[in-house]
Structure 1
Amino acid sequence: MKKLLGDERREYILKRLKESNEPIKGGVFAEETNVSRQVIVGDITLLKAKNEPIIATSQGYIYIKANGHSEKVIKTIACKHEPEAAEKELELFVKHGVTVKDVIVEHAIYGDLTASIMVSTSADVHAFMQQVKSTNATFLSALTNGVHLHTVEANSNEQIDRALQELEAEGFLYSEG
């Protein structure tokens, strides 16, 4: 493909994201538009500055589409566990059809720090954990002795409730004291 320039490239990126049901990595956009990945990062930043609902996840960029028909249930869940339990925690959510959208920790200086996770299947959890391992990354919850919040989404309260019951049984839910 020929090198796409500025506005034309950003229109292409936006169109591809809107049409895709899967995350798209920056490297894919770089190849498709014949520019560097860093240029794509800048393009995404400019699109976000124009209030395009794009988020970066460990699997790539996602365009958050307005939900047309059914109303999703969104809740914030407080959790606490050791880093080794992160995969099991995420698996318990997705097992019940619950998407884990992000992780939030409260930092003494910066306030709330939020990072996108966007896992809704076992395959997503596996890919996320592989990325954590391959980059030797540290979980945000390491800043707060394991205490963190997740914004979760599901089709029903029942799905979230079933996930919470299992999380409680595993000791993953946070409570003061």
Structure 2
Amino acid sequence: MSDSKIKANERREQILFHLKRSNEPLKGSSLAEQMQVTRQVIVGDVSLLKASGEPIIATSQGYVYITDSTDHLPYKQSIVCRHEAEQTEEELNILVDHGVHVLDVIVEHPVYGDLKARLGVSNRRDVKKFIERVKSSEATFLLELTGGIHTHTIAASQQEALHDAVEELAKKGILLDS
């Protein structure tokens, strides 16, 4: 094996090492700085790791090695919401304030079909970080592709938490009526 392939393999092992031990998402730019390569090299490395079956996802906060920390949550459901982008923080705060974990957001794109993004927010700090990341990157929310309509997979340790959160979303006019 050539020297550059050994270095690339070692770098990918280091990326895995850091991701598996981190309690927070790791930014590609931070990994690049640690490994003394460009962010694009890290993007390629992570893509190769994902292709080899490693459960790594890219979130708005950085890369995460998935150990599915929501496995312990026995109650899950999907909800369909509709609101303006400016109401996203309110929507997410309602959910997390009831002890609900917001696992993802899904929109139905006319060309690509379902687009799903992992959110992984479970408290107000997570919500704040997510909103700040969207604003600082000048990105748009996925709901802007669909006139505000989107689906969330939510989970909680108690069925009552899901019920109460959904009820409050309905009262606020955020839950899409069936």
Answer yes or no: same fold by TM over 0.5: yes
Paired amino acid for 2:173: G
Question: Structure 1 segments of 4 or more deviating over 6 A?
Answer: none
Given candidates 64, 79, 82, the residue that maps to 1:62 is 64
TM-superposed CA distance for 1:156, in Å, is 2.6
State how far apart, in whole Å, the 2-side matches of 1:121 and 1:144 are: 26
Which letter does structure 2 place at the counterpart of 1:63? Y
- Determine the structure 1 residue equivalent to 2:88: 86
Tell which deviates more after alignment, 153-162 or 34-43: 153-162
**2:156 paired residue number:** 154
Pairwise CA distance, 1:68: 9.7
The residue aligned with 2:134 is 132
Instruction: Confirm whether residue 44 of structure 1 aligns to residue 42 of structure 2.
Output: no
CA change 1:21–1:126 in 2 (3 A) is: same
**CA–CA distance in 1 between the matches of 2:33 and 2:108?**
38
Aligned residues between the structures = 173
Q: Cα distance 1:80–1:10, how it changes in 2: closer, same or farther (>3 A)?
A: same
Q: CA deviation at 1:114?
A: 1.3
Instruction: Name which of 130, 144, 147 aligns with 1:145.
Output: 147
Question: Could you list the per-position Cα deviations for residues 61-108 of structure 1 after superposition, in whole angstroms to 9, with x for gaps in the alignment?
Answer: 111115598344332111011111111001111112222122111112
Query: Amino acid of the residue matched to residue 82 of structure 2?
Result: K
SS at match of 2:49: helix
Identity, in percent, stands at 51
Alpha carbons of structure 1 residues 53 and 99: separation in structure 2 relative to 1, 3 Å: same
Q: Which runs of 5+ in 2 are unaligned?
A: 1-5
CA contact (8 A) 2:102 2:122 kept: yes
TM-score, structure 2 as length reference: 0.89
TM-score with structure 1 setting the length = 0.89
CA gap of 1:70–1:115, structure 2 versus 1, over 3 A, is: closer
